[in-house]
Structures are given as C-alpha cells and as structure tokens.
A and B are shown apart, each in its own frame.
Chain A
Amino acid sequence: MTLLDYLAATLLLAGAVFFLAGTLGLLRFPDVYTRLHALTKADNVGLGLTVAGLAVQAESWQVVGKLVLIWMLVLLAGASVAHLIARGALHKGIRPWTP
C-alpha cells in the first residue's frame, strides 16, 4: 500500500464514522426535526469524505469531476428534501421537541 492508499482508506473510514453517527442520530433522537438535523448534516459530510477518499484513488480528473458532481447533487437534494419533510411535519402540527 502506498501513502495515497492509506490516505484514501483514512478518508473512507472517517466518512463511514459520520454515516454511523447520522444513522445513530436517526435511531436515537427524539423527534423528526432533530433526526433530520442529524441525518442530513452527518450524511453530507460522510459522503463528502467518501467522495474525497475515492477521488484520491481516481484514475483521471474526469472521474474526480463526476464524483464531485454527484456530491453536489446529493447536497442539494438532501438539503431540499430535509427542508420539505420538516415543513411537512410543521404543517401537520408536529411540535418540535423541547427537553
């Protein structure tokens, strides 16, 4: 394994940790708003790290471009959908959780 491989593996593992954190938040947080918060933020960073890890090992710049494009699209879709779900929940009359 070269230095680049170690870097890629570190980035991928770090990404997996963020995904795990997001999933834990989804399972353990008390209401829809906090769950969305955990899931969207952690997964966006997790995917970013995964994309970075794959980009380090990519064969060409075109592949890096595609990977970054995928990340941007997921960021956009994730943020918008989280907003739509939260607004739908508010519209339904679900009160945000207060400790």
Chain B
Amino acid sequence: MNAVFLYALAGVGLVGLALHALIVHASLLRKILAFNFMGSGVFLTMVALARRAGGEHPDAVPQAMVITGIVVAVAATALALNLMLELGATTRDDVLPDDDRA
C-alpha cells in the first residue's frame, strides 16, 4: 500500500470514528469536536487522493477546496459553540432537550 491510500484510508477512519461519536455522545461540545474530526477526515481523504495526479505538483483544485473548507469549518464551529452557549444559558444544560442524560 502506498502513502496516498494510507492517508486516504486514515481520513475514512476519522470519518467513522467521528460519526460514531456524533451519534452516541449527548454532550453538544463533544458533538462539535466530532464534527470537526469528520471535516478533517474528509479533507485528508480529498488531499491524499489529489496526490494521485503524479508528477511534481499534486492537483491544486482539491487543495484549494480544502483551504476554503478549513475556514468554513472554523466559522461553523464558532456558530455551533455560540448556539451551545445560548442553549446552556437558557436551559442550564449542555445537551439537547430531547436527549436523555445518563
């Protein structure tokens, strides 16, 4: 197995780990962390596969998309964290109202 598919599969693994955490954790902060890992996994797979172009330079289009994606991810994270804090201030809880607390 070469490095391209090693990193691409690692990205898939990250998506799997994050998907599981997103479902089983009720804590919103953990869900936000999981969402970030899922993004990182997708980015990793995309950029690893972009290296299949061979030659001196990898394909720049996925790289540019991932840079855009990282900035969008931080904006989404900030928004999600803010919503979580407002929910916490209103309901005194850090899980969604329909989620059971353990």
Note whether A and B contact each other (Cβ less than 8 A).
no
Could you list which residues of chain A lie within 8 angstroms of chain B, going by C-beta atoms?
none
A-contacting residues of B (Cβ < 8 Å)? none
